[in-house]
Chain A
Amino acid sequence: MVHIFKQLGYNIAMDIESGAIHILEDAAAEVLKLLTPPMVENCPEDVISQLKDKFSEKEITDAYSELYELYKEGMLFTERDYEINIPQEYPIKALCLHIAHDCNLRCKYCFAEGGDYAKGRKIMPFEVAKAAIDFVIEKSGTRRNIEIDFFGGEPLMGYDTVKKTVEYARSIEKEHHKNFRFTLTTNGLLMSEEVMDYLNKEMSNVVLSLDGRKEVNDAVRVGINNTGSYDRIVPKFQEFVKRRGGQNYYIRGTFTSANLDFAEDVKHMKELGFKQTSVEPVVLDPSSPFAIREEHLPAAFAEYDKLTEVMAEYKKNGDFFNFFHFMVDLDQGPCVIKRVKGCGCGGEYVAVTPDGDVFPCHRFAGMEDFKLGTVFGGELKQDIIDKFGESTVLKKKDCEECWAKYFCSGGCPANNYNANGDILKPHKISCELERKRLECAIALKAFEADLQEND
């Protein structure tokens, strides 16, 4: 399968099964669009006759020859000729620890129903978190790198539990040959200087929630008394990032149908001094006033086009700025097994609620049909674990002919389930947005390569 598209002025061809990506002059792009495998050595006459009004015969045959070379080298029209052996065991090695099923904001699009997941407000006691650490050590088998994300609600409402959990995990990681990596996602309201310094010392990544411009943020990210949060949060985030040095963080926003001009929000984040950003589309029931529906897609695509141009300008000026969804690693990226397995939800990654219940991920938390067990012992429900473990992109019928399958692995299982009642059936709107983002991301790689070449 070959996917050809134009973005940022580049004609780009992706050979899906090999992973090869090519940048094409116009003649080569037009020739390629007319080809179907298998290729033969000489350019077919009908290709020449169809393009002779646009290009010289030499251009057409030269382009064909170059494409034919790629074909022979296994970088064009490749068929998969090898097995992808997915490990049949899924050791749990990443936890989303729901430190607080409570929140000090009431964001209007919150999938956690105001922070409590519709299950009542609770802070995770340390005893539960401790059991969760023991649980992941036991379940992770030979995996060395263990990831713990402190999540909520708002996890800083359980700051004491966070600190004790880190201390406990650090105290036993060496004897179990583990390397714990902690991350935390916060709305920032409870960030004192002491909290900032603690997070900068212990967290390998911190995700800071902000939706961008003040009017955009304050329309949805509101407090319990319905007032906006921007003014209370931004100075804290700026101070936090200043103290963080070069360590990883993300300013993470959500865009909704109310701010389809979200490139302005990304630009605003940069103006505030942030360099690592992520702005993701909201996922809500289509009946919600904030939901992104099919009719919003053209505007969202145009905005991604705009953001791509903005990012190219930053790169041209040597201005480091990172947008999470435009990150793609074409050289040292994930292996094909990871690309096929996806996010690991319900297998290597699970969520733990304040009561110690285990769910496939944070998005399934509280959905009793998906409860896997608890961190206090006893068997986990293997049938559910197997169902998630086996849900690779190769099992998703709608993904068979999709060129993006090795980049997104068939989408978020929770989005798929919530939209279609089936973790194997992709959520169409998410697919459309993902494909657009990938085209933008790859075009930016082409742009970077050009910049390096002209340096």
Chain B
Amino acid sequence: MKLVKTLSKATLKKSACKGGCGECQTSCQSACKTSCTVANQKCENEKQK
């Protein structure tokens, strides 16, 4: 029986190569105006997809 299940693989390093295009939504323009939450923003870099 497996005792560890991976929910999400290592993604951060890979994202550093093509990231930073700045096309994604600014977090305060969604619903959040008083707390900073960035991890729920969608990537909008066409090269990343």
Q: How many Å lie between the Cα of A411 and that of B39 in the bound state?
A: 12
Most buried by B among A149, A330, A333, A442: A333
Q: How many Å lie between the Cα of A371 and that of B35 in the bound state?
A: 21
Pair B35/A24 contact, Cβ less than 8 Å? no
Pair B40/A333 contact, Cβ less than 8 Å? yes
The residue from A62, A333, A434 contacting B43, defined by CB atoms under 8 A apart: A333
CB of A36 closer than 8 Å to a CB of B: no
Pair B22/A280 contact, Cβ less than 8 Å? no
Pair B8/A21 contact, Cβ less than 8 Å? yes
Q: Would A24 and B3 be within 8 Å (CB), given that A335-B18, A336-B16, A363-B34 are in contact? A: yes
The residue of chain A having its C-beta at the shortest distance from the C-beta of B20 within the complex is: A337
CB of A312 closer than 8 Å to a CB of B: no
Q: Among residues 4 to 30 in chain B, which have CB atoms less than 8 Å away from a CB atom of chain A?
A: 4-13, 15-16, 18-20, 22-30
CB of A91 closer than 8 Å to a CB of B: yes
A-B contacts at CB below 8 angstroms, number: 228
B interface residues, tally (CB under 8 Å): 44
**Which B residues are CB-close (under 8 A) to A434?**
35-37
Pair B27/A344 contact, Cβ less than 8 Å? yes
Interface residues of B, dominant DSSP: loop
Pair B38/A339 contact, Cβ less than 8 Å? yes
Q: How many Å lie between the Cα of A147 and that of B16 in the bound state?
A: 24
**Which A residues are CB-close (under 8 A) to B4?**
22-25, 28, 63, 66-67, 70
**Which B residues are CB-close (under 8 A) to A438?**
39
Pair A147/B34 contact, Cβ less than 8 Å? no
Binds B, one of A261-269, A321-329, A372-380: A321-329
How many whole Å from B24's CB to the nearest CB in chain A? 6
Q: How many Å lie between the Cα of A91 and that of B21 in the bound state?
A: 11
The residue of chain B having its C-beta at the shortest distance from the C-beta of A17 within the complex is: B12
How many whole Å from B15's CB to the nearest CB in chain A? 4
Q: How many Å lie between the Cα of A430 and that of B34 in the bound state?
A: 10
The residue from A18, A93, A330 contacting B22, defined by CB atoms under 8 A apart: A93
**Which B residues are CB-close (under 8 A) to A86?**
20
The residue from B15, B28, B31 contacting A343, defined by CB atoms under 8 A apart: B28
**Which B residues are CB-close (under 8 A) to A22?**
4-7
Binds B, one of A77-85, A116-124, A228-236: A77-85
CB of A259 closer than 8 Å to a CB of B: no
Binary per-residue interface labels of chain A (25-64) against chain B in the complex, 1 for a CB within 8 Å, 0 otherwise? 1011000000000000000000000000000000100110
A-B contact pairs, 17 of them (CB 8 A): A17-B12, A82-B16, A85-B16, A94-B28, A147-B26, A149-B28, A149-B29, A183-B29, A282-B34, A324-B32, A325-B37, A331-B11, A334-B38, A335-B19, A336-B13, A349-B26, A407-B38
Seen from chain A, the residues whose Cβ lies within 8 Å of a Cβ on chain B are 12, 15, 17-25, 27-28, 59, 62-63, 66-67, 70, 73-75, 78, 80-87, 91, 93-94, 96, 111, 143-145, 147, 149, 151, 181, 183, 185, 205, 207, 250, 252, 254, 278, 280-283, 324-325, 327-339, 342-345, 348-349, 361-363, 406-413, 415, 430, 433-434, 438, 442, 445-446, 449
The 5 residue pairs across chains A and B that have the minimum distance between CB atoms: A335-B19, A18-B10, A337-B20, A335-B15, A19-B12
